[in-house]
Structures are given as structure tokens and as C-alpha cells.
Amino acid sequence: MITFFGWEPLSPPSSARRPLPPAAITRSATVGAVGFLGAGVILSFAGLAEGGIGLVPLALSALLFGLPHGAVDHLVVLGLARCSLRLPPLLAVTGVYLAIVLLALLVWWIAPVVAVLGFLGLTIAHWGQADAAFDRLYRPTGGLTAAPAGYWIDALLRGFLPIGIPFVAFPRATASFLEACYRLFSAQPPPDFKAAGPGVLVVLVILGLAHAALHLTTFCRQRDRRHLHILVESAALTGFFFLVPPVAAIGLYFCGWHGLRHVLRLCTYEPRPVVSAAAGRANLGRFFLQAMPLTVAALAMLAGFRFIVLAPVSSPLDQVAAYLVLISALTVPHALVVAWMDGREGIWFRRGGDSKA
């Protein structure tokens, strides 16, 4: 299996082998973003985002950048730990990873309200930090944004947009989805998730103003257009999540934004960092081959969900809920791995203007 799937430890690129310039990475991310934003807008204006077609992006995320983007975490852990690919460390890593996933599912069983809130909080933190890390690595800016406070303002705002806006723009659909997740593990009446809308709106406004002030102030001092690019992305995401119903929006974002950007980052990792466009395409194909076994294993876990939940997984909404509950459990160890990646690459201590180019 190790030979067939091309498994090799993955570690951050060394200074001796510089990866493709940041512009090539950000260009690929922008193409993916425009594609997913455009698809969401078309689906919404065509009135298709809330029907069966609206579920297609989430279904595709099981195979295209979404679920697979964390399916090489075992290789990343080995690389970060500077371990060779041998069976004992590989079994240890996968065993610990699986144990964390099972513990997360146990929380859903024991305390579903805590699990729902933890799911939302962890997703905000992980998605936001992933976006902030991507910008610091491939679109580094100076001034106020280089300070730790700037990093956290960016991370919180970017994480809050996909999770918070649906509470404001689509309160009924968002509550229905969270209730479906909750009912998989509890026969008790669910909390009133719609009541969170006003508080979420206040937080969104505060974070949005802080984010805009941070980048506009620094742009006025430096005239660095990267600040404007970041603000344009934030504005586009805001409009997207206000316009597109939550299930379709999350499916598109998971594939075309969060998952894609993580995969692009991994394509710069050793032992074969991206040094040309052709190498980038080869690394992308290699990534999906390496991710295949654990992606299939995760889908097998999803198929077994019906045997461990209280409510039948029959309607499309129930199936979406089961899928995202599994994603929430897989996100716990994945977020820990990404935090380790961030620490190794100096994300939290990176000064403005530093670049991987």
C-alpha cells in the first residue's frame, strides 16, 4: 500500500529548495475562488441552490478537495516529526488520529449541545486560521497586519463569515440543519438556534469593521495592494454567504476555498515541493492518490453512521447532517495537525513582508 499510493513523509519546504513563487499559489487559489463564487451565484439566481442540486457541492466535497484535504495528515505528522515512513510510527499516528476522532464522536453521543457548539467554534477557529495562514505565507503584508492582533482579527473574521452569516441571512435553514445534527444523537427538544442571529450579527459587524480598518489603515501607509486584495476577498465571501443558502454555500466553500488552499499549501511540501507549473500539476495528482485510502476509510465510517445514531438517516437533510458530524470529528485531529504546520512554518511569528518566494 505504501509503495502503490506513493506515501512519503511531508514536511515544510526547506530554504534550499524554494517552492513556486507565491503568485502562482495565490493565482490557483483565486481561480478556485472565482469558480466556487460564480457557481454559488448562478445556483442562487437560478433558484437551484435549495433543491437537490444544492446538495451536489457537498456531495462532491467527499471526493474533491473537501474530505480528501485532510486525508494525508498522517504523512504530514511523520514529516513534521522528522520520522521515516515505517510501519510502527505510521500505526501510532493513525491510531492516535482515530482515537481523537472517536472521542469527538463520543462527545456527540454524550452531550450533543456541547458538540454542536464545539463544532461551530472549532470550524470558525480552523477555517479562519487556515485563511490567515495562507495570506501570511503567500500574500504577506506589513504594518499593523503583521502584529499578532492583526493575525487574530483576520482569522476570526474569515472563520466567522461562513459560520456566522447563515444565522443572519438564513436563520430557518441554518437552525433546521443544526437541529438535524442534534437529533441524530438526542431525543430531547433541540435548543432554539435561531435566537443566536442578533448576537452573531453584532460580532460580524465588529469583526468586519476591525478587519477593514486594519487593512485600510495599513494600505494608506504602505500603498501595498495586497491589503486591498484581502479586503476584496472578505467582501466577496460576505456577499456570497448572504446570497447562497447554507448547505450549498458550505459545500462550495469547503471544496473551492478551504480544501483547495490547504492542498495548494501541501503541494509545496517536501519531498517534492512545487518548483514549476508542471510539477504543481504532478503534485496535485500525487496528492489525490496519497489521500485515496483514508478518504475511502472516512466514507466507510460515514456508511456505518446509521448503526450508531438514534434517528434514522433517511432524508437528504439527515444525510448532510451525518456527513458534517463526521467532518466535525475528523476536524479535531486535523486542526491540531494544521496548528503544528503553522507553528513549524512560523505563521504566528512571521513579520510582514516575509515571503516564501
Range of 205's domain? 22-349
Is residue 163 domain-resident?
yes
Task: Give the cell for residue 217.
Answer: 489603515
Residue matched to cell numbers 488520529 = 97
Residue 2 domain flag: no
Considering the chain, what percentage of its residues have pLDDT values greater than 70?
89
Let me know if residue 54 belongs to a domain. yes
Band of residue 144 on the pLDDT scale cut at 50, 70, 90: low
- Is residue 117 assigned to a domain? yes
**Count of C-beta atoms within a 10 Å radius of residue 3:** 6
Please give the tally of structural domains in the chain.
1
Please give the sequence-ordered ranges of beta strands (E in DSSP) within the chain, or none if there are none.
none
Q: Is residue 357 part of a domain?
A: no
pLDDT at 179 > cutoff 90: yes
Q: Under 8 Å CB-to-CB from 298, ≥6 apart: which residues?
A: 67, 71, 326, 330
Does residue 354 register a pLDDT over 50? no
Range 294-315 average pLDDT: 84
Tell me, yes or no, whether 291 lies in a domain: yes
Residue at 16 is within a domain? no
pLDDT digits (tens, 9 = 90+) for 236-262: 999 999 999 999 999 999 999 999 999
Percent of the chain scoring above 90 in pLDDT: 56
pLDDT surpassing 70 at residue 277: no
Neighbours of 30 (CB within 10 A): 12
* Assigned domain for 9 exists: no
Burial 332-348 (b: 16+ CB within 10 A, else e): bbbbbbbbebbeebebe
